[in-house]
Structure 1
């Protein structure tokens, strides 16, 4: 006989400086993902705007601020624009493999280059090999690492130029964290290509969505997330189509108690 499903306990972090909007404070509500129902819980929480980090699911719960909005791409409706088609052609030669969630030194060195180039003062800048291994391997749900490598003539593994830690949920792929080489390597636009590859990969698997995490209006770092149309945002009435050029931003996401 299986153990009954237990409603999770939620906790709230202490306020800390917001990494996206200067002068504001962030706070998160979170719960632990463990046990045989961790995948089901992660799926349910993902549908109301939670994200996974290792064995924790979290969502912003900031006092007086609702700037962070959950977004997901509707895969069947996605049609790449001219710039996106160009990127798909440019990187079509890459070798792409979904690997088991096992950290490698090659991945870690790519992450170090990525953080140094793009986020030198960010919260992950001091990550060591152990921290990275925890980020990849401490997953109680169905996770994998998608690797993007340069092509070779002999079929061997080419140079690793991109990677994405990805969860497969019941209704889509959730891109937990992606990192890649910069434009100076001749592989410009890799981050955008990785997102499109996930959209096409999910669509081929019959999964309707790709979850991109949070979009923050007014944050240049998050602007790229609305380039993939059609896109949906999570508001007080659930998920709805969104045009960031025309629509107002939803006031807030559904409350946690709606899981009851």
Structure 2
């Protein structure tokens, strides 16, 4: 009989449930807990293997009849903006993102609530309370940060902070090989700014500045309109049966 080390993660499988992306499909997930002093190392390995983090859980699809979910990561050092993305970047040059410890605030939750009510009223997160939001941000054993985006002020060059109302927020894991965008949200009334796209562009810039080669975007689902934006950022890599494969 063999004995697994006490530190080895245990994996579990969820029951089937309706797929939120493809009508008529059912999803299952395999998951494990990210806890203890090895949580950062484990999160790195699992993210590189196609897992995503939610609080202290790492999960990935394990559907019986579908393989539509594909893990996507941007090759940050080689990324070049096309004309459309340059316009988004220029449109938001008056914003600055300030990163700090993963701590929730009432201001964040108000923006989060406004975003959900406008964009995901029927989604699985639609009934999240302020306590649920706090858990989403704080319940982490890995290196996680909040990035808050506001308009630049006269002292932003020195303070690296914006001023005024909060316009967008990203919850981001800092890994050994990249930044993983766990969740992001923004003011839905500012659709002309394309703030979701801008935050991805900003994360690419941050990854390059920190010497990190990748920005992890989670899953792309072919056939799902919700996910189409993720394949705009090239070159990128998709995780397949043979490992990470480049897509230009």
- Name the TM-score, length of structure 1 as normaliser: 0.89
Query: In structure 2, what is the Cα distance between the partners aligned to 1:28 and 1:81?
Result: 35
How far apart are the structure 1 equivalents of 2:236 and 2:110?
Answer: 33
SS across alignment from 2:181: strand
Q: In the aligned structure 2, how far is the partner of 1:195 from the partner of 1:186? A: 15
Give the whole-Å Cα distance in 2 for the aligned partners of 1:154 and 1:38: 37
Q: What is the DSSP-based 3-state SS (H/G/I as helix, E as strand, rest coil) of the residue aligned with 1:121? A: coil
Of 229, 235, 247 in structure 2, the residue corresponding to residue 230 of structure 1 is 235
Q: What residue ranges of structure 2 are gaps of 5+ in the alignment?
A: 157-161
C-alpha separation in 2, matches of 1:237 and 1:74 = 18
Using the TM superposition, give the Cα deviation of residue 31 of structure 1 relative to its aligned residue in structure 2, in angstroms: 0.3
Could you report, residue by residue, the CA deviation over 1:149-206 in whole angstroms, capped at 9, with x for unpaired residues?
1234576731100000000011000000000012x33752000000000001001100
Residue 184 (structure 2) pairs with residue 178 (structure 1): yes
CA distance in 2, matches of 1:13, 1:94: 41
Aligned to 1:193: 198
Contact map agreement 1:5 1:37 (CA 8 A) in 2: no
Report the number of matched residues.
239
Say if 2:121 is the partner of 1:120: yes
Q: Which runs of 5 or more structure 1 residues have no equivalent in the other structure?
A: 244-260
SS at match of 2:102: coil
Root-mean-square deviation (Å) = 1.4
> What is residue 15 of structure 2 aligned with on the other side?
14
In structure 2, C-alpha distance between the alignment counterparts of 1:106 and 1:187, rounded to whole Å: 22
In 2, the alpha carbon distance for the partners of 1:167 and 1:196 equals: 16
CA distance in 1, matches of 2:155, 2:220: 42
